[in-house]
Amino acid sequence: MGNGRVDGWMLDEQARAELLERFWPRYGRIVADHVTFKPGPGMEQRPEAEECLLVGRADDGEGVEAMVVSIGGSTQRPDGSTWHITWSLGESRHARESNDVIAAHGWQAFPEALRVPLRPASWS
């Protein structure tokens, strides 16, 4: 990943559209399209995953909204941060802020987890 490429998973397009209708984005810039994989110590390969579970939502009330997901039975990424989908962003906010928001503000669990189909992907 040192070459500027990011590994992770893209959301299934139909599932994404359905989720956006169900969980209307709070901020103007809608992202809601991927889960980023960041390897932890000794782990360089992205885990095998054909789906994630959408388990909760985080929002700092100031322009960063993220959906917390579980992959392989855990919400914790190998690097110690939280698996998530950056859902929407306010002006001058960045997707990379999602983990800071989750760490600082926590997240609210949904009453029921939702299965979301994923496909492995790499992007710049």
pLDDT at 1: 43
Q: Ramachandran region of residue 61, left (φ > 0), alpha (ψ -120 to 50) or beta? A: left
pLDDT at 5: 76
Instruction: Measure the CA dihedral 90/112/48/88, to 10°.
Output: -10
pLDDT at 78: 87
**What distance in Å separates the CA atoms of residue 30 and residue 90, rounded to the nearest whole number?**
9
- For the chain, strand residue ranges (E) read 6-11, 29-30, 34-37, 51-59, 64-70, 84-89, 108-123
pLDDT at 39: 67
Can you name the residues that pair with 64 across neighbouring β-strands? 89
Per-domain boundaries in the chain = 6-40+48-123
- In this structure, what DSSP letter does residue 92 have? T
Predicted confidence pLDDT, tens digits, the chain (124 residues): 456 678 899 999 999 999 999 999 999 999 999 999 986 666 678 888 999 999 999 999 999 999 999 999 999 998 889 999 999 999 999 999 999 999 999 999 999 999 999 999 988 8
List the one residue out of 84, 89, 58, 57 whose CA is nearest residue 71: 84
**What distance in Å separates the CA atoms of residue 123 and residue 109, rounded to the nearest whole number?**
29
Q: Could you tell me the pTM of the whole model?
A: 0.92
pLDDT at 10: 96
